[in-house]
A = this chain, B = another copy of it.
């Protein structure tokens, strides 16, 4: 493991997904999933999100489109929150999901809109 890349990844992951969320993930880790937590932090967040040739806002938008195509609702919810933190607006999320509906099919679009609404409702309730 490269300590530098891991540390950079950890910082970016906390920025995007929230310090509390990431610290809880590591605190809850056991021998089974700790290597996965470490791999994801270094490889995904350090080695790729850490590259500076795309702004984080763009990376978030790409992720919303990809997670819709890949049919991964848990991760989609996490990354909708991350996208809002990275400055993607709800209107832009709507546009991404309309484009998903055309390219990945209407059912993929319908599922992403439903998850988007659930996530917004959670966030609004937490603020209220």
Contacts and interface: CB of A to CB of B under 8 A. Distances in A.
Q: How many copies does the complex hold?
A: 6
A94 B32 contact: yes
Contacts of A104: 66, 69-70, 104-105
Interface residues of A, number: 60
Interface string A1-23: 11001000000000000000000
Contacts of A42: 47
Interface in A62-116: 62-63, 65-67, 69-72, 74-75, 90-111, 113-114, 116
Interface of A: 1-2, 5, 30-33, 35-36, 39-40, 42-44, 47-48, 51, 53-54, 58-59, 61-63, 65-67, 69-72, 74-75, 90-111, 113-114, 116-117, 120
